[in-house]
Every structure is written in C-alpha cells, then in structure tokens.
Amino acid sequence: MPAPRLARTGTAAAALSLLLSSAYGQHYQTKTPYQPQLASARSEAVPQGYRPIHTQLLARHGSRGLTSMKSDLALYNLVQLAKQQHALTPLGAQLEPAIFQMMEANALLGYGVAGIRKPGYGNETMQGIREHQQLAQRMYQRMAPLFQPADAGSGAAPRQILLLSSGKDRAVDSGEYFAQALFALQPALQAQLVRPAPLAPRSSGSSASIGGAGSGSSAAGTDRFLLYFHKLNPKTDLVSDSSDPLYAAYQASLAYQAWLRSEALSQRLAALEARPELAQAAHAVLARLFRPAFLRALGAGQHTAANTGSMQFSSKDGQYTSRLTGDGETVLRTPVDAALALYELYAAAADMQDELRTDFHRFLPQTQAAVFAAHEDAVSFYSKGPGLQENGSVNYAMAQPLLDDFFAEVETVAAGDLRHVAKLRFAHAEIVIPMAALLGLQGMSEQLTASTPYSYKSSPWRGERVAPMAANIQWDAYQNDQGQIAVRMLYNEQPVDFKTSCAYAKLTAASQFYDFARLRRCYQRPGE
C-alpha cells in the first residue's frame, strides 16, 4: 500500500507538536488528538547488560472523522428549522455553514489519499495518519537494534513483524501506515511482515470454518477475538464448545453487550443527563445560537429534529460524489440533546485540522465544554471503562485473550524462539480501555460502587488520558547474557507501572523494568 509522505521535520513538525501539546485540557476527551507522553532525559535507562529482544504494541486507530451521519445532520436540521422561523442569532447563522462543511469534509474524507480504500465517514484524517507514522518512527528509534537487517549467514530463522487489526477500515489503515513508516526507515523490514491467522475459529464448536464466508475472524491479519471483542456475535464468532479456550471470552463479550442494553445502565445514563449542571450548560450554549422563543419551545418539546434527509457532496475535481441519507435514528428532543450534538462536532473538529476550514470553538465556550466533557467521561466510565464494583469484571473480562497474547509473545522469546521481532495490533478505544482496566493500571482501572456517582472528584478516570486518538500500550522486552527477560510497559509512550500488586517483580524497588517470570506469575489466574 503506498503511504503518504512521512511528516516533515522542522517548521511543520513544530507546528504539529504545538497542536498536540495544546490538545490536553481542551475537553475533547476520547476524541483528543494524540500527544506522546515521552520519557524525559531523566527517565530510567535500560539496565546494564540488557539488550532489546522484542517489542509489541496495541494501538487505537489514529484521529478520524465522524463515524456516520448522525448528530451532524440532526443538528443541521434543527438549525434549518430555526432559520425558517428567523430564530437564529448572528452566531447561530454561522453554525449552518459550519455544520455543512463538517458533513462535506466527512463525506469526502480520504478521497485522493493514498491508502484509503473507500472515502467517507469513519476514515482516518491526515492528522491520524501522521499520528501512526510518527509513532512508528519513535518505536524504531527506541528499539533500533531489533529492526536492523539480520546476518544472512547466521543460519537463524527469518525474523518476522506480525501485523493484526480489528478488520475495520480505520484500524486496518492505521496498521498499514505504521508499517509503511517502518519500511521507509528500513526497507529490508518489508520482507519480514506477516499477517497471522486469527485466534478463532479454532475448534469444532465454532460456527464458521477458516476462510469460510461470513466469518469476521477468517481473514489473515484480522482478529475479532483479540481486537474487536466488544462486539462478538453468534453470526460471525459463535463458540459453543465450552472446552474451547475462547469460550470464556465469547461469553464475556455477550455479558458485556447485555450490560450495554440493560435497564440498569439506561437508568444510570438517564440520571447523568438529568444533572442540572448539564441543562444549565446546554442553555448557556444554545442561548448564544437561538432566539429565546425558539429555545423555550425546544425545551417544552415543541421542536424536534432528526438525522433525516439526503445530502450529496462532490470532490473539487468532480471525480468523486458521495450521496448519503440519514437513518432518522438520532433525534434531538431537548436542549441537552442539541448541546451534546454540538459538543460531538466540537470534539470531532479537533481531529480534522487538515480537512476543516471552520473553527467550532466559537460555538462552544470552554466553560460549557468542560461540563460536556465531564458528562462524556461519566458515560464512558460506565459503558466502556472500569465501571461498577457490583458488576465485577463485566466491562473488561473479554480482554483476557488479548492480555494472554501479550504474555504469550514474551514467553515465546523467553523460550529461545526469536522469530518475532514485533507484534503490532491496531484496534479501537473499546479495546484499549478494557485492556488498561484488566492490567490494573493506576487511574485507569479503579471501579466505583453503585452508590458513588462518577465525577472528577470521585474518580481519576479520564478519557483523554486513557484513550485519546492513537492511544497505545507497548511492551518492550530485553534480555541479558544470563537469559533473564525484563519487560517495560509504555502507555502512550510513557513508562508506567504494572498493577501495584506486581511491585515485587520489579528489578529494583524504584525500577519500571520487571522480571518477566515474576510478572507472569503475578498476572496468572487461579488454575493456570
């Protein structure tokens, strides 16, 4: 796959760095553009006598546009209704073309970009492409000895770089852009790229056969059980044999999806939307856009708007046209609905700096953006994050095969099989978030009781830190002359501790390098 040019150094790189450094604190939460949390010059050095032997990665796809035409079209239709009633303020009149530009940019997203197979909603932006190119460059620099050409006369088995994704376009593309960036630095690596077969189906109890039609896990380089486990389903992923090692993960996914559909979660989310501070923030934002009478009517339920109707957009060269029709399922019934739709566009715009010609900050003051961000984090905490103590591990048990896969890679090299240079996995926020919780990472895994509502005072969990765009977990493995393996974990490229109970596995009390054998025992489940 031809890749766009690697990000330039100098002025362009400095400008991008400035953009990323300002992203945190802008209230984009899980839509926050990636900001690498790089180790400083004072960070711990690799222990003396150890050399890099393997590295692996789990990464969310890079910055993207909107996934589909929902909130944007619904809000556009609400603005159109207000326009017909002469109920827009001067600032509100500016919102109509801004939303149109947002829809146009998403409908044409990726057109003319090398490597984007189908332009439109859900694709990575140029910003997202750069995020993964630069992530690859920094991995190469950090673990450079791993990526040097092998001695042809050594007789050793050819080394491999394994590449996996969820199968969704933006995750597939992230992996391809990452790999191409590595190849640009070391062309010989291209011959080492391998797209492995998926974990499932692998037993007679599975519903599909390898290579069979309809199996979402059948294609080499695609693995739903590892990288799309939050949406396993009977049609593509059924594991009916309880002796299958993946049976527990399949059942865990079904339990998680049942929680998402549960009345208990629905009631909790409804309570979040009923918080008075949310209504106050919504009124403050919309009063700048709509005349008082229209806003009162919206609050009284007299106005609604849905993502209905069709739109057509064409590329500037006239060679590509996108025709889209809304499904009518996104309905704005209240001022809070309308304000949260605007917040969604505000956050999405942060990831579309190359494609958008408009600034959504003017429509959403920072004071109110902070309120909507806190609401977004609360929703994500219960529906994707660590969740409730009373629910046990329902939000993250399905990540167990992924964690097992991380350990299996290091176990393989520890046993002397050095064929794998790296394993690179590309997925989604819904995969990174439960992985962080299952790992027990500080600030990312702490649950709350049902009687303690999520707030910034009661929980350290923040979407912008746990799962910004291109969020990543990396394990670097090192070995000394005695054969001892040490592992260091990086989260968004910053060294972090494993769970607190594994402190005994550290090489020294203050180290973030862990003896792998002891670390493996620390994470072993009963009966293993």
What are the chain's domains? 11-24+33-523 (3.40.50.1240)
Which pLDDT value is given to residue 200? 77
What value, to the nearest 5°, has the Cα angle with vertex 251 and ends 247 and 257? 150
Which pLDDT value is given to residue 201? 60
Which pLDDT value is given to residue 208? 37
Residue 37 token pair:
């949390």
Residue 222 pairs in a beta bridge with: 165
Tell how strand 160-165 and strand 193-194 pair up.
parallel
CA distances 205 to 233, 237, 245, 398, Å, are 14, 11, 11, 19
Which pLDDT value is given to residue 370? 97
Q: How far apart are CA 73 and CA 330, in angstroms?
A: 9
Buried b / exposed e over 485-503, threshold 16 CB at 10 Å, is bbbbbbbbbebbbbeeebe
Which pLDDT value is given to residue 340? 98
Alpha-carbon dihedral sign for residues 394, 398, 399, 400: positive
Give the global pTM.
0.92
Residue 388 token pair:
């409730």
Which pLDDT value is given to residue 218? 61
The answer to whether residues 315 and 112 touch, using CB atoms and an 8 Å cutoff, is: yes
Q: Look at residues 301, 310, 355 and name the one whose alpha carbon lies nearest to residue 331.
A: 301
Q: How far apart are CA 294 and CA 282, in angstroms?
A: 14
Which pLDDT value is given to residue 418? 93
Q: Look at residues 31, 470, 402 and name the one whose alpha carbon lies nearest to residue 227.
A: 402
Residue 332 pairs in a beta bridge with: 305
Which pLDDT value is given to residue 49? 96
Give the three-class secondary structure for 162: strand
CA distances 157 to 163, 187, 314, 404, 416, Å, are 18, 19, 51, 25, 12
Which pLDDT value is given to residue 40? 65
The answer to whether residues 483 and 51 touch, using CB atoms and an 8 Å cutoff, is: no
Which pLDDT value is given to residue 151? 60
Q: How far apart are CA 143 and CA 136, in angstroms?
A: 11
Q: How far apart are CA 425 and CA 60, in angstroms?
A: 9
Residue by residue, DSSP assigns 424-437 as EEEE-HHHHHHHHH
Q: Per-residue pLDDT for the chain (528 aa), expressed as one digit of tens each?
A: 443 444 333 333 334 333 333 455 689 999 999 998 876 667 789 999 999 999 999 999 999 999 999 999 999 999 999 999 999 999 999 999 999 999 999 999 999 999 999 999 999 999 999 999 999 999 999 999 999 987 655 556 789 999 999 999 999 999 999 999 999 999 999 999 999 988 876 443 444 333 333 344 467 899 999 999 999 999 989 999 999 999 999 999 999 999 999 999 999 999 999 999 999 999 999 999 999 999 999 999 999 999 999 999 999 999 999 999 999 999 999 999 999 999 999 999 999 999 998 999 999 999 999 999 999 999 999 999 999 999 999 999 999 999 999 999 999 999 999 999 999 999 999 999 999 999 999 999 999 999 999 999 999 999 999 999 999 999 999 999 999 999 999 999 999 999 999 999 999 999 999 999 999 999 998 776
Residue 57, number of CB atoms within 10 A of its CB: 22
Q: Look at residues 133, 148, 143, 123 and name the one whose alpha carbon lies nearest to residue 59.
A: 133
Q: How far apart are CA 25 and CA 464, in angstroms?
A: 9
Give the three-class secondary structure for 56: strand
The answer to whether residues 172 and 132 touch, using CB atoms and an 8 Å cutoff, is: no
Q: How far apart are CA 45 and CA 15, in angstroms?
A: 30
3-state per-residue secondary structure call for 207-270: CCCCCCCCCCCCCCCECHHHHCHHHCCHHHHCECCCCCCCHHHHHHHHHHHHHHHCHHHHHHHH
Q: Look at residues 57, 69, 458, 81 and name the one whose alpha carbon lies nearest to residue 303.
A: 81
Which pLDDT value is given to residue 154? 55
The answer to whether residues 227 and 166 touch, using CB atoms and an 8 Å cutoff, is: yes
* Distance of alpha carbon 345 from the chain centroid: 18
The answer to whether residues 464 and 30 touch, using CB atoms and an 8 Å cutoff, is: yes
The answer to whether residues 318 and 72 touch, using CB atoms and an 8 Å cutoff, is: no
Tell how strand 51-60 and strand 420-427 pair up.
parallel
Which pLDDT value is given to residue 155? 58
The answer to whether residues 395 and 387 touch, using CB atoms and an 8 Å cutoff, is: yes
Per the listing, tokens 């960070």 go with 43
| Phi and psi at residue 83, to the nearest 5° | -65, -40
The answer to whether residues 149 and 188 touch, using CB atoms and an 8 Å cutoff, is: yes
Which pLDDT value is given to residue 97? 97
Q: How far apart are CA 132 and CA 414, in angstroms?
A: 29
